[in-house]
DNA sequence: AAATAATTTCAACGATCGTTGAAATGTGTT
DNA sequence: AACACATTTCAACGATCGTTGAAATTATTT
């Protein structure tokens, strides 16, 4: 019973912290605001987690393994349905990278929403972006980049890394749900319409990768006279 | 002389604020840190600007007109070199949108760097993203979207707006210069290599737009039987 | 039931926050 | 020279920050 109670309280703290960190950033929120939202005394935050920074890390850690596992399985599912003679397409790989996230957002309205918005802020923060994203996501991202390299065998590795940079930016801005798309399109599009993002992103990004890594002159060249490689 | 002196001080404040806001976010910086970096008394910040928030707005405003004017001229230059029978290509339009910014970054090492990093954070912030970006950039962005619509006449407007969302995310993450690309590529790519970004982004984004707005079945259809337009 | 451990409450610490009024200094005009 | 005005310095305001020790309460084990 103690276990269950503890779980309940520390989860309420994590939920409140997640939401407020996502909305206002790490420094834009106070411990007292978080604990007021969690309905508990301020000191409890320091009992369950030991500092503001550690609470932040706990917020990040709680969901990162779940989402990375989902994406890894999506990638493996794609890879199992292909072999060396029939490699996976770029679209399929990108879809495995983004669908699990956007699907979850489209279905599960409030649960994960704030977490992804937090990721969006972190990814674009000079303070946290490099270190935090690298720490939590690089192993998985490297696997996707390997897959992309297999799908575009004669590509320059640097092109793939830059393509991933563009993909990462496009994906996280979509997570941010800032409402800007609503303003810009005067209501035609909604920032929180993840089905719309889901339907468009793989096609957009895959075409970008192909244009970058397999430009037409190179493609024609490869078809015409197979070079050394 | 008073004018010049005033300019000098308030510019030093703006520079310090710009750099620190970009590095740590609005709430991650104190007035005292800013004024220490500017080498002036704290109270001077409230004399020249009247609050922290107003200082932030002044930081945003100082450069936004310059960069928007540059991009507008780049777009008009592209449009002047085309006419109705020979419309501008998507690549040219995207290049006019991103080149002025990245060019400036590639040339002018420190001057504009922090400003763009700040934009990257703002764009992905639920708190500021919607309102601030809309306020400063929407008029220009609407012009670019008009141009894109002319370049892809039979496209669904929603596709163009979403394409712009992806473009915006890719561009601003590149501004953020978080160093993540360096970690991920183990030194092969550098986050601050704006020439590399410059060379790749228009091709990537333009291909994305085309795949989204003019998918192949539609393209084939257009070529086969020229419709009303 | 007694004892031990886990959780929660309460009150407070020093430090620092954004902001301000008033005095001091500098600058340009008569 | 005296003046008005812009700029800068200095010291401080109340509020709030992250954090903590110790007491009070609740749950678990003996």
State whether B182 and A209 contact (CB < 8 Å): no
pLDDT in tens, B16-64: 999 999 999 999 999 999 999 999 999 999 999 999 999 999 999 999 9
pLDDT at residue A115, rounded to an integer: 95
Mean pLDDT computed over B157-169: 97
Fold agreement (A1-50, A63-224)? no
For residue A229, pLDDT over 60 is answered with no
| A55, A13 Cβ separation under 8 angstroms | yes
Superfamily of domain B63-224, CATH level 4: Tetracycline Repressor, domain 2 (1.10.357.10)
Domain coordinates of chain B in residue numbers? 1-50, 63-224
Q: Which residue is nearest to nucleotide D27 (CA to C1')?
A: A2
Helices and strands, counts by H and E, chain B: 11, 0
**Distance (Å, whole) CA B44 – CA B37:** 13
Q: Integer distance in angstroms from CA A40 to C1' C3?
A: 28
Nucleotide with the nearest C1' to B8 CA: D7
pLDDT band at A220 (very low <50, low <70, confident <90, very high): low
State whether A205 and B209 contact (CB < 8 Å): no
| B19, B118 Cβ separation under 8 angstroms | no
A50 token code pair = 């030991």
The CA distances from residue A184 to A121, A124, A160, A168, B124, in Å, are: 21, 21, 31, 22, 15
pLDDT in tens, A42-84: 999 999 999 999 999 999 999 999 999 999 999 999 999 998 8
CB proximity B45–strand D (7 Å threshold): no
| B152, B219 Cβ separation under 8 angstroms | no
| B9, B1 Cβ separation under 8 angstroms | no
Quick one: angle between helices A52-80 and A113-123, nearest 10? 100
A107 alpha-carbon distance from chain centroid: 16
Residue with tokens 């970058």: A212
| B163, B212 Cβ separation under 8 angstroms | yes
Nucleotides of C under 7 A from a protein CB: 6-12, 16-22, 27-28
**Distance (Å, whole) CA A206 – CA A183:** 27
State whether B124 and A173 contact (CB < 8 Å): yes
**Distance (Å, whole) CA B125 – CA B132:** 10
For residue A184, pLDDT over 60 is answered with yes
pLDDT in tens, B128-137: 888 899 999 9
**Distance (Å, whole) CA B169 – CA B137:** 14
Top CATH class of B1-50 equals mainly alpha
B118 token code pair = 């700040």
pLDDT in tens, A123-176: 999 998 889 999 999 999 999 999 999 999 889 999 999 999 999 999 999 999
The model carries a pTM of 0.89
Rg (CA), chain A: 21
B10 alpha-carbon distance from chain centroid: 25
Q: Which of residues 63-122 of B touch strand C (CB under 7 A)?
A: none
State whether A24 and B127 contact (CB < 8 Å): yes
For residue B124, pLDDT over 50 is answered with yes
Kindly give, in sequence order, each residue whose CB lies less than 8 Å from that of residue B50, ignoring residues fewer than 6 positions away.
none
Q: Integer distance in angstroms from CA A13 to C1' C11?
A: 22
């Amino acid at each position: 019973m103690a276990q269950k109670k503890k779980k309940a309280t520390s989860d309420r703290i994590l939920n409140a912290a997640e939401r407020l960190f996502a909305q206002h950033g790490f420094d834009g929120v106070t411990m007292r605001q978080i604990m007021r939202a969690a309905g508990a005394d301020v000191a409890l935050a320091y009992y369950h987690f030991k500092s503001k920074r550690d609470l932040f890390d706990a917020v990040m850690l709680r969901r990162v393994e779940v989402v990375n596992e989902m994406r890894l399985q999506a990638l493996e599912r794609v890879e199992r349905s292909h072999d060396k003679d029939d490699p996976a397409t770029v679209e399929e790989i990108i879809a495995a990278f983004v669908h699990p996230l956007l699907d979850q957002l489209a279905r599960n309205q409030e649960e994960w929403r704030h977490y992804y918005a937090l990721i969006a802020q972190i990814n674009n923060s000079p303070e946290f972006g490099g270190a935090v994203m690298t720490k939590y996501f690089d192993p998985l991202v490297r696997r996707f980049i390997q897959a992309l390299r297999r799908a575009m065998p004669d590509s320059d590795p640097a092109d793939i890394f830059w393509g991933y940079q563009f993909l990462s930016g496009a994906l996280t801005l979509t997570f941010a749900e800032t409402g800007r798309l609503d303003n810009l399109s005067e209501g035609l599009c909604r920032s929180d319409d993840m089905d719309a993002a889901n339907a468009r992103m793989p096609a957009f990004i895959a075409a970008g990768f192909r244009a970058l890594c397999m430009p037409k002159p190179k493609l024609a060249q490869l078809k015409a006279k197979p070079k050394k490689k």
